[in-house]
Amino acid sequence: MPLPLQKATRLVAVHDVPLDCDIYEAADYPKSGPVFLFFHSGGLVVGDRSMVPPWLVQTCYKRQWPLLSASYRLLPQVFGNGLLDDAKAAYDFARSLGVGGANRHVIVGGASAGVFLATLIAHHLTPKPLALLSICGIPTFQHPFFNSSVLLPPDPITEEEVERYITEPVSIGKSPYSPEAVFSTEMLLPGGAKNPNFTRNPISLRKGSDQDLNRGLLYDYYLYENMFPILVGSSVDPGFDWTATDAEKLKQWPITILIQGDADDAVSPEVCSSVAEKLGTGKAVYCEAKGQDHLFEKTKFLEDALPGAPGSKAMTAVLKAINELGNAVTRQT
């Protein structure tokens, strides 16, 4: 009989503030298989580790990969080096989850800006992850999109509107800006199928936190002011132009699978497509979802990809990415 998915929370490190990690796994998972390390969305300025797409949880459950969703400190109280420190702490923790603390292989990934932390691991840490999964992601801020004064809201956000967030103490993401995207183990049946009887408590959709959701305005502000490349720094975020000259680094780079909606208005699709082009077909697989916006899949289950299901066509890119990810991991384990 399939065992149910369980959630445990562990302390990973203390970097000014505690950094916790949620672990989703069933009791019968092998202790030697790969681990999936996930970083949440939120433009590096907001969000919460509870925001994990159900289809990703189901994918990891079917393959018996423990899924770790890690906290990290937010901009602008930390910069690129701080994000790298937090990513390293989470990666080291994920690797240590073998029997007796033995090292395990790790797959890294994230949604939106969470992909940036996953990419930092591939750039700076060894051993390299088995694979990298980008979900409507930002693998780098060294792209013209982040240096073109892109205006998302009708009017520019003023410094006065975000000053309180710029001057507040260091914090991790503690506000799921999209409460409907918060994952609960009750959403799945034992065996990993979607629970058709799950209903989210309406109160949970309205519940606030001690972190103002308007902190997300920092993304619009920094995007328009072209501040992201400066905040993260080119020494931490080298971009991908190096692929043309550094054959050895490219050889060591993990297989990178990128899910991207071609109607994304929060992050230009060209950010990910250019990364895929520079890495080349031997290292990157670009999975385009036609007509889809940013994080179009954030509340979707694998069942939503079945023929005849509403919006199933949009999930074609997700299914392709899952298949490519499974193949990449199988080849290396």
How confident is the prediction along the chain (333 residues), in pLDDT tens digits per residue? 789 999 999 999 999 999 999 999 999 999 999 999 999 999 999 999 999 999 999 999 999 999 999 999 999 999 999 999 999 999 999 999 987 777 999 999 999 999 999 999 999 999 999 999 999 999 999 999 999 999 999 999 999 999 999 999 999 988 777 888 999 999 999 999 999 999 987 655 444 445 577 899 999 999 999 999 999 999 999 999 999 999 999 999 999 999 999 999 999 999 999 999 999 999 999 999 999 999 999 999 999 998 888 889 989 999 999 999 999 999 998
Range of the domain at 112: 6-332
**Quick check: is 248 in a domain?**
yes
Query: What residues form DSSP beta bridges with 194?
Result: 188
Q: What is the DSSP string of 230-241?
A: HHH-TTT---SG
Domains: count for the chain: 1
**Quick check: is 317 in a domain?**
yes
**Quick check: is 1 in a domain?**
no
How far apart CA 110 and CA 257 sit, in angstroms, is 11
What single DSSP character describes residue 163?
H
**Quick check: is 278 in a domain?**
yes
CATH, residue 117: 3.40.50.1820
Neighbours of 194 (CB within 10 A): 17
